[in-house]
Amino acid sequence: MESREIVVIGGGLAGLAATDALKDRDVVLLEADERVGGRVFTQRRQPYWLSVGAHILGGPDSPMGKLAQEFGLTLAPIPGDTMAMFTGDRLVRGGKPELAPFRLALPPRARLSLVRTGLRLRRAALRAAAATPDMTHGNREFAGEYPTVEGDEALDRKSFADIVGHAHPAVAALYRTAANRLSAEPGELSGHFGANAIGSLWVSKRRYVMTVEGGLGEIARCLAERVGARVTTGARVRHVVARDDGVEVTFERRGETHNLRARHAVFAATAIAAREVIADLPADKAEALGHVRYGPYVVMAATTREPGPMAHDDLYAVALGGRTLAMIFNTVNPLRVPGGVRQPGGTLMMYAGADRAAALLSASDDEIRRLFLDDVHAVFPALRGLVDETWIRRIPHGYPFWAPGRLGRQDALARPFGNIFFAGDWIEYPSTDAAVRSGQLAARSIRRRMGLAA
Ligand SMILES: Cc1cc2nc3c(=O)[nH]c(=O)nc-3n(C[C@H](O)[C@H](O)[C@H](O)COP(=O)(O)OP(=O)(O)OC[C@H]3O[C@@H](n4cnc5c(N)ncnc54)[C@H](O)[C@@H]3O)c2cc1C
């Protein structure tokens, strides 16, 4: 049996960050796919890039922002509108979200409903923000051995739909889009999580909106380069047993079964995998892992071949009400800076989330492309006939949104089990920053247990 000091399971950002922080030790990372990066997946299309995964990070001081700077990547603020909305047949851009009731194409009763529900959401958002001061910035430093999260327990026991309350159908469609962006339906989402993630928009608390030129996959690529041969791809872990003096891992690679023993492990794959492969989990941990819900996305990235400037150049994100797509992103808006050279062409990213995505998981690429392009043409008629290459990715386990009752399960979820430490976006408020931070924290905790310097 192969023997190692540390084994890391899962090569998304969390596993890569953990391996990077342990690279001076005898460490191996086992990744099931043939590529690392997990839910971050970007490809270069000079002078642009395509993305079918995460695309925004938390700012220069966030874990992702710090890594980007360390690797000499260009952090790019997103100058464009991130709050545009498309309802009926109208694109509304710019302005404060609180003023949306007066600007969207809505019947009078729907306007009133948006004001009422908006006030309820605003109250909840203020309460949630007061209980979770750091959520939106992702730069909190953890002192303990594993991540804690703060929040409003009463809000967390309710669903986002409970908090919004009864809404006019046209307004309910908008809230549905907001929940779908997080891969959930409004009734599935924790009230605390929804109020924080969605309601914060309502109180004009603009998040730090920033990306990396070339896409966030550049950070995964740089991490993978730095950890080099410590990564084994195509290695699917099937069984993990915690022993008094370490862990035993069984994995499959190229049709063969391998056994590996290590002193410590970082489990950085999904919560679903944790529950499936780790033997004899304590009952509260198994229950908490089962409570983590992953909503689906169907994502499409596209290149466009416009010869010059377009009306959407100064726009980053559009939320669509009542359509197949929840969101369209003008991925390369960071390059459209005033006074800069506007190269021909461009790229877009778009996705359907939650039930609408679930219904498309088994659809053909042609069908997905047709439905998505119908929405693109409705929002940006000038792009008709200009979409070139498309890249479709179905992600059944897209995002571990918080379901009601998530807050009370934090300790059970994040707590180590024997010498197995846990990392991944599901351990916190899910994001790339959370993934990196949890990986780094797991590495730090292992170093402490081994009596090494952080
Ligand atoms: C469409 C989309 C848009 C998003 N947008 C943003 C955004 O703009 N900003 C943001 O911050 N976040 C965003 N996110 C969320 C972000 O992508 C994730 O929070 C983050 O990438 C999670 O990283 P991770 O390492 O925790 O998990 P993952 O990236 O899922 O990595 C887990 C890895 O474990 C591997 N694995 C699973 N099972 C096994 C096994 N049994 N054995 C070995 N390996 C295994 C998987 O193959 C995978 O590579 C988005 C997500 C999606 C899908």
* pLDDT given for residue 134 in this prediction: 62
Instruction: Please tell me the residue having the least CA distance from ligand 1 atom 5.
Output: 54
Q: Is the CB of 435 under 6 A from ligand 1?
A: yes
CA 323 to centroid of ligand 1, rounded, Å: 26
User: Which class is 42-78+209-214+295-399 in CATH?
Assistant: alpha beta
Q: Is the CB of 217 under 6 A from ligand 1?
A: no
Residue 231 bridge partners (DSSP)? 29
- Within 10 A of 228 (CB to CB), how many other CB atoms are there? 9
Domain boundaries, the chain: 2-39+217-292+402-449, 42-78+209-214+295-399, 96-202
Model confidence at 145, pLDDT cuts 50, 70, 90, reads: confident
Q: Is the CB of 236 under 6 A from ligand 1?
A: yes
Q: Higher model confidence: residue 201 or residue 47?
A: 47
For a ligand 1 pocket test, name from 41, 432, 433 the mutation site with the most ligand atoms within 8 angstroms of its C-beta: 432
Domain 96-202 has CATH 1.20.1300: no
Residue type for position 114 = L
Q: Please check the confidence at residue 428 and state whether its pLDDT lies above 80.
A: yes
Q: Is the CB of 218 under 6 A from ligand 1?
A: no
CA 39 to centroid of ligand 1, rounded, Å: 3
* pLDDT given for residue 141 in this prediction: 64
* Average pLDDT over all residues of the chain: 93
Angle 386-388-392 from CA coordinates, rounded to 5°: 125
Q: What is the pLDDT of residues 37-49, one digit of tens each?
A: 999 999 999 999 9
Contact 3, 415 (CB under 8 A): no
Q: Is the CB of 304 under 6 A from ligand 1?
A: no
CA 37 to centroid of ligand 1, rounded, Å: 7
In terms of Cα–Cα distance, which of 379, 381, 438, 415 is closest to 87?
379
Token pair for residue 124? 């909840």
Question: Tokens 């100058």 map to which residue?
Answer: 79
User: What gap in Å lies between CA 423 and CA 180, rounded to an integer?
Assistant: 25
Lowest mean pLDDT among 82-91, 188-197, 253-262: 82-91
Q: Please check the confidence at residue 387 and state whether its pLDDT lies above 60.
A: yes
Contact 432, 40 (CB under 8 A): yes
CA 135 to centroid of ligand 1, rounded, Å: 19
User: What gap in Å lies between CA 333 and CA 335, rounded to an integer?
Assistant: 5
Instruction: Please tell me the residue having the least CA distance from ligand 1 atom 29.
Output: 38
Average pLDDT of span 274-278: 98
CA 20 to centroid of ligand 1, rounded, Å: 17
What is the helix, strand, coil percentage profile of the chain, to 5?
Answer: 40, 25, 35
Token pair for residue 447? 């170093």
Domain 2-39+217-292+402-449 has CATH 3.50.50.60: yes
When computed from its CA atoms, the radius of gyration of the chain, rounded to whole angstroms, is 22
User: What gap in Å lies between CA 43 and CA 54, rounded to an integer?
Assistant: 12
According to DSSP, residue 199 is labeled I
According to DSSP, residue 190 is labeled B
Residue 420 bridge partners (DSSP)? 265, 417
pTM above 0.85, yes or no: yes
Model confidence at 207, pLDDT cuts 50, 70, 90, reads: low
Model confidence at 147, pLDDT cuts 50, 70, 90, reads: confident
Q: Is the CB of 201 under 6 A from ligand 1?
A: no
Angle 427-433-439 from CA coordinates, rounded to 5°: 55
C-alpha distance from residue 36 to each of 17, 40, 222, 235, 269 (Å):
12, 9, 11, 11, 12
Q: Is the CB of 404 under 6 A from ligand 1?
A: no
Q: Please check the confidence at residue 135 and state whether its pLDDT lies above 70.
A: no
For a ligand 1 pocket test, name from 20, 39, 67, 299 the mutation site with the most ligand atoms within 8 angstroms of its C-beta: 39
Q: Is 127 helix (H, G, I), strand (E, B) or coil?
A: helix
Q: What is the dihedral of CA 288, 412, 13, 437, to 10 degrees?
A: 140
User: What gap in Å lies between CA 63 and CA 138, rounded to an integer?
Assistant: 8
Distance of CA 84 to the CA centre of its chain: 20
Q: What is the pLDDT of residues 222-272, one digit of tens each?
A: 999 999 999 999 999 999 999 999 999 999 999 999 999 999 999 999 999
Instruction: Please tell me the residue having the least CA distance from ligand 1 atom 2.
Output: 53
Q: What is the pLDDT of residues 289-327, one digit of tens each?
A: 999 999 999 999 999 999 999 999 999 999 999 999 999
* pLDDT given for residue 335 in this prediction: 95
Which atom of ligand 1 is nearest to 426's Cα? 26
C-alpha distance from residue 353 to each of 172, 179, 248, 320, 435 (Å):
16, 8, 37, 12, 21
Same fold, 42-78+209-214+295-399 and 96-202: no
User: What gap in Å lies between CA 142 and CA 145, rounded to an integer?
Assistant: 8
* pLDDT given for residue 139 in this prediction: 45
Token pair for residue 149? 């999260």
Cβ-proximal residues to 66 (8 Å cutoff; 6+ apart), any chain: 60
Instruction: Please tell me the residue having the least CA distance from ligand 1 atom 27.
Output: 12
Lowest mean pLDDT among 87-101, 163-177, 261-275, 383-397: 87-101
Q: Is the CB of 269 under 6 A from ligand 1?
A: yes
Q: Is 297 helix (H, G, I), strand (E, B) or coil?
A: strand
C-alpha distance from residue 329 to each of 50, 317, 320 (Å):
11, 5, 11
Number of separate helices (H) and strands (E) present in the chain:
16, 18
Question: Tokens 């043409």 map to which residue?
Answer: 377
User: What gap in Å lies between CA 214 and CA 182, rounded to an integer?
Assistant: 24
* pLDDT given for residue 106 in this prediction: 87
User: What gap in Å lies between CA 261 and CA 206, rounded to an integer?
Assistant: 47
Q: Is 155 helix (H, G, I), strand (E, B) or coil?
A: helix
DSSP run (H or E) holding 326: none
Cβ-proximal residues to 385 (8 Å cutoff; 6+ apart), any chain: none
* pLDDT given for residue 58 in this prediction: 86
Q: What is the pLDDT of residues 7-34, one digit of tens each?
A: 999 999 999 999 999 999 999 999 999 9
* pLDDT given for residue 138 in this prediction: 43
User: What gap in Å lies between CA 408 and CA 125, rounded to an integer?
Assistant: 19
Q: Is the CB of 237 under 6 A from ligand 1?
A: yes
Q: Is the CB of 346 under 6 A from ligand 1?
A: no
